[in-house]
């Protein structure tokens, strides 16, 4: 029997060359949840995905902890270029945010809902999230997996690491490992508060005039 998508994604993370030590820690601790889904270009799993995110937020508030990641691994499509993947990713994110708004979930007040704001993050179930997108045709090797994946990381974890003075050492380790893997540092990486993190989600290198297609219905604007 061939390995499942979840097992293949675990193998991808445990590979020695994979640079994200946070994901490695989550997998080793058993705090990386992998949810198989159908197509990134379809709304088929959107209700399930939102339910998983809302529960993830609730569980985190009940029992906070570091290095927790929620990964949605899609069966396909496997032929999306970087711009196509980015468009499909934001379609899914918009759908999820619309459901969160419809359910009258509060937007995490610690972040901005404006994707042009340097303090922007997504919010589901009242908790802010940073998204990491992966797909077969990503330019960056660290973002190149067999099928599309969306990994949701709780923003509060980054703030906890900063408070513990662990964020910068971990970030530097990831940058060094990414440099060793790709031969260059990802030009889109930035610290929260320096510029909007929205441009980092898909993994595609975008220009200064790039505009995020996302708009949250709870935003005052």
DSSP tag of 15: S
Cβ-based neighbours of 124, under 8 Å, separated by 6 or more: 50, 53, 54, 56, 57, 96, 97, 100, 105, 152
Q: Which domain holds residue 30?
A: 5-200
For residues 80 and 88, give the distance between their C-alpha atoms in angstroms, rounded to a whole number.
9
Domain count, the chain: 1
Selection from 183, 188, 184, 214 nearest residue 203 by Cα: 188
Report angle CA 150, 153, 156 to the nearest 5 degrees.
160
Q: N- to C-terminal Cα distance for the chain?
A: 52
Looking at residue 183, its pLDDT comes to 86
Q: How far apart are CA 209 and CA 184, in angstroms?
A: 23
Q: Do the domain assignments include residue 211?
A: no
β-strands 69-76, 32-39 pairing: parallel
In a domain, 219, yes or no: no
Q: What is the pLDDT of residue 147?
A: 98
pLDDT score recorded for residue 188:
67
Count of other CB atoms within 10 angstroms of residue 104: 7
Query: What pTM, to 2 d.p., does this model score?
Result: 0.95
Residue 89 falls inside a structural domain? yes
What is residue 220's predicted lDDT score, i.e. its pLDDT?
57
pLDDT along the chain (221 residues), means of 10: 90 94 94 97 98 98 93 98 98 98 96 95 97 97 97 92 85 86 76 80 91 90 50
Residue 161 maps to a domain: yes
DSSP secondary structure code for residue 200 in this structure = G
Q: Which of 86, 68, 24 is nearest to 212 (CA)?
A: 86
In this structure, is residue 220 part of a structural domain? Answer: no
Whether 221 is covered by a domain: the verdict is no
Domain annotation covers residue 60: yes
Position 216 in a domain: no
């Amino acid at each position: 029997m061939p390995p499942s998508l979840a097992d293949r994604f675990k193998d991808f993370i445990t590979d020695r060359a994979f640079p994200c030590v946070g994901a490695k820690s989550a997998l080793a601790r058993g705090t990386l949840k992998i949810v198989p889904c159908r197509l990134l270009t379809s709304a088929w799993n959107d209700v399930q995905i939102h339910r998983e995110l809302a529960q993830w937020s609730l569980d985190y508030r009940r029992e906070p902890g570091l290095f927790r990641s929620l990964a949605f691994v899609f069966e396909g499509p496997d032929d999306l270029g970087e711009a196509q993947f980015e468009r499909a990713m934001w379609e899914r994110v918009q759908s999820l945010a619309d459901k969160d708004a419809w359910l009258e979930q509060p937007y995490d007040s610690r972040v901005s809902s404006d994707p042009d704001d340097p303090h922007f993050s997504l919010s589901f179930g009242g908790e802010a999230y940073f998204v990491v997108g992966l797909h077969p045709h990503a330019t960056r090797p660290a973002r190149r997996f067999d099928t599309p994946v969306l990994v949701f990381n709780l923003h509060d974890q980054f703030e906890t690491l900063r408070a513990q003075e662990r964020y910068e050492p971990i970030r530097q380790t990831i940058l060094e490992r990414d440099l060793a893997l790709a031969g260059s540092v990802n030009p889109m990486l930035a610290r929260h508060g320096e510029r909007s993190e929205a441009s980092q989600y898909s993994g595609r290198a975008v220009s200064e005039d790039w505009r995020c297609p996302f708009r949250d219905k709870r935003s005052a604007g």
